[in-house]
Amino acid sequence: MELWFTEKQTDRFGITMKIKRTLHTEQTDFQKLDMVETEEFGNMLVLDGMVMTTQKDEFVYHEMVAHVPLFTHPNPENVLVVGGGDGGVIREVLKHPSVKKATLVEIDGKVIEYSKKYLPEIAGMLDDARVEVKVDDGFMHIANSENEYDVIMVDSTEPVGPAVNLFTKGFYAGISKALKGDGVFVAQTDNPWFTPELITNVQRDVKEIFPITRLYIANIPTYPSGLWTFTIGSKKHDPIAIEDSRFHDIETKYYTKDLHKAAFTLPRFVEDLIK
Ligand code: AG3
């Protein structure tokens, strides 16, 4: 018998993958968690029916969430990841020698537990000495932080279920307060094909709070439409005006110095969303 998984990315469109076997399935306190082995993309974490990460294409998302803001900031020492319980962003953060401390605040401890078990090359750095893992509500953590972080990365699910607060203007205001005077933040902001209003709204909200607001893109085959966006808010440093000398060599598979710049060049229909 053949087993296929479909994520209905909209009511009328989906992505389908052939499944070898189910590794784990459970209703956690926050969401439905499925870990499956796919034929094409290796092990895959699915939350509430939505693809979160796969062994084959995870590097694109994790490198782009981490390295764009971390190279934008001249000396990131204290960084925070909100969400991201699979550990992929943390793994990339730790490639930056300036980082002294990386805090991960993930609301669902089960995501951490099963990522460690079934996605070891993604979650493997969560036990590093520079990392503090807190199983807690990211929104509350931000609300209680002030002038603390150089860079904050929001690696959330979609704005349904547990992450709904993480797409509000109040949250971005909290992030601004939690950042130091020259801090930078990034959030994953979905795709321009099926959720264009979300991109427009987040840009509008972030612009009202951060003097520098920008959008960049990456190709992620297993996410809706394959074209993903990230919104940056920055107090001082402009991600598209980085001195060449700022870039240092790190091991990556997607991110490069040239790609950093190229990622901010948007197709016209995407540019139009943020005018
Ligand atoms: N977080 C964003 C995934 C969004 C995908 N959406 C979907 N499949 N509908 C990914 C977490 C990776 N660390």
240 to each of 93, 115, 118, 214, how far by Cα in Å? 20, 33, 37, 9
Residue 121 has a pLDDT of 98
Same domain, yes or no: 49 and 64: no
Overall number of domains in the chain? 2
What is the extent of the structural domain holding 23?
3-53
84-94: pLDDT as tens digits: 999 999 999 99
Active site residue 48: no
Q: Is 141 helix (H, G, I), strand (E, B) or coil?
A: helix
Same domain, yes or no: 25 and 129: no
Determine which residue's CA is closest to atom 2 belonging to ligand 1. 157
Report d(CA 196, CA 193) in Å as an integer.
6
CB burial of residue 240 (10 Å; 0-12, 13-18, 19+): middle
Same domain, yes or no: 120 and 7: no
Same domain, yes or no: 185 and 131: yes
Choosing from 108, 150, 155, 190, which is the catalytic residue? Answer: 155
Residue 33 has a pLDDT of 98
Same domain, yes or no: 142 and 253: yes
State which of 158, 164, 189, 230 you would mutate to test the pocket of ligand 1, scoring each by most atoms of that ligand within 8 A of its C-beta: 158
Which residue spans within 161-263 are E strands per DSSP? 179-188, 212-219, 227-234
Domain boundary among 12, 38, 53: 53
Same domain, yes or no: 133 and 241: yes
Same domain, yes or no: 209 and 257: yes
Q: Quickly state the pLDDT bin for 162 (edges 50, 70, 90).
A: confident
* 234 labeled part of a ligand binding site: no
49's CB contacts (< 8 A; 6+ apart) are 7, 8, 32
- Residue 244's CATH number: 3.40.50.150
Residue 158 has a pLDDT of 84
Same domain, yes or no: 47 and 63: no
What is the average per-residue pLDDT within 126-130?
98
* 106 labeled part of a ligand binding site: yes
Question: Ligand 1: does its nearest atom lie under 6 Å from the Cβ of 150?
Answer: no
163-213: pLDDT as tens digits: 888 888 999 999 999 999 999 999 999 999 999 999 999 999 999 999 999
193's CB contacts (< 8 A; 6+ apart) are 224, 225, 227
Question: Ligand 1: does its nearest atom lie under 6 Å from the Cβ of 88?
Answer: yes
Question: Ligand 1: does its nearest atom lie under 6 Å from the Cβ of 224?
Answer: yes
Question: Ligand 1: does its nearest atom lie under 6 Å from the Cβ of 87?
Answer: no
Same domain, yes or no: 13 and 134: no
- DSSP lists the bridge partners of residue 43 as 37
**Of all atoms in ligand 1, which is nearest to the CA of residue 188?**
2
Crossing angle between the packed helical segments 196-209 and 169-178, to the nearest 10 degrees:
40
Query: Which amino acid is located at 143 in the chain?
Result: A
131-153: pLDDT as tens digits: 999 999 999 999 999 999 999 99
Same domain, yes or no: 46 and 66: no
Residue 194 C-alpha to ligand 1 middle, in angstroms?
14
Residue 91 has a pLDDT of 98
Same domain, yes or no: 114 and 32: no
- Residue 28's CATH number: 2.30.140.10
81-125: pLDDT as tens digits: 999 999 999 999 999 999 999 999 999 999 999 999 999 999 999
Report d(CA 158, CA 237) in Å as an integer.
27
* 162 labeled part of a ligand binding site: yes
Q: Is 31 helix (H, G, I), strand (E, B) or coil?
A: coil
Q: Quickly state the pLDDT bin for 159 (edges 50, 70, 90).
A: confident
Structural tokens at position 227: 């074209």
| 228 has a pLDDT exceeding 90 | yes
* 251 labeled part of a ligand binding site: no
What is the average per-residue pLDDT within 211-220?
98
Residue in 190, 195, 231, 234 with CA at minimum distance from that of residue 212: 234
Same domain, yes or no: 222 and 239: yes
